[in-house]
Amino acid sequence: MTSREIAGNKIRMTSKTPRIAVRAVIVHEGRLLIVNAWPDGKSDLMCAPGGGADPGTSLPENLAREVYEETGLSIEVGVPCMVNEFHDPRIGFHQIEVFFRCCIVGDARIDHDWRDPENIVDQHMWVTADELDSVRLKPDGLRRVAFSDDETAIYDPLETIVM
C-alpha cells in the first residue's frame, strides 16, 4: 500500500504494475494460429499464442519460448504489429500485450499429443479469415492485423477482460 498526499489529505492507494505479455500473429498458408485463452473449457474464447514476459529476457525470446510451450512449434519473431490492453477493474489486474508478426521455422503441424506444461492451452486451431466469423476471439484487432495487407502497427484500446 502506498500513500499520497492531496490537498493536505493522506490518501491510501494500491499500486500495481501492469503485466506485460507477448503474443504471436502467425499466418501460415492463409490460416491464423489461435489457441484457447482459458484452461479446462472454462470459456470458448480464443486468442493468439503467447503469454507473460519474464524479466531479464527480451520480448522476442519470451515469445519464442511461450509459443513452443503452448504448441511445440519453433518460430522466427518479426516486427511488432499491435499493442492490446485489457483489465479486470474488480481485482486491479491490467495486462499490456505486444503482438509480433511471426513465421514458422520447420514443420507447422502441431503434434496431437503436445501438452502445454502450464496446462492452460489445450486447443489449437488454424483458421482462415472467413472461419474467424464463427470463433469467439480477442482482442478485437487481431483479425485486422492478421489478414490485412496494411503493415501498420495498431493499438487495440483498453477493454474489460471477458471469459
pLDDT tens digits, 55-105: 999 999 999 999 999 999 999 999 999 999 999 999 999 999 999 999 999
Question: Does 42 map to a domain?
Answer: yes
55's CB contacts (< 8 A; 6+ apart) are none
64's CB contacts (< 8 A; 6+ apart) are 74, 75, 77
Question: Does 1 map to a domain?
Answer: no
Domain with 125 in it? 16-160
Question: Does 5 map to a domain?
Answer: no
- Does the pTM exceed 0.75? yes
CA distance 153 to 45: 23
Question: Does 11 map to a domain?
Answer: no
Question: Does 153 map to a domain?
Answer: yes
**pLDDT band of 15, cuts 50, 70, 90:** low
Q: Which three cell numbers stand for residue 161?
A: 477482460
Query: Which residue's C-alpha cell is 499429443?
Result: 113
Question: Does 138 map to a domain?
Answer: yes
> What are the backbone dihedrals phi and psi of residue 11, each rounded to the nearest 5 degrees, phi first?
-115, 130
In tens, the pLDDT along 2-14 reads 434 444 444 444 5
Which residues share a beta bridge with 94? 87
Return the H-helix or E-strand segment holding 67.
helix 59-71
3-state secondary structure of 144: helix
How many domains in the chain? 1
Q: Is 9 exposed, middle or buried (0-12, 13-18, 19+ CB in 10 A)?
A: exposed
Question: Does 9 map to a domain?
Answer: no
Other Cβ atoms closer than 10 A to 69: 18
CATH number at residue 63: 3.90.79.10
Question: Does 29 map to a domain?
Answer: yes
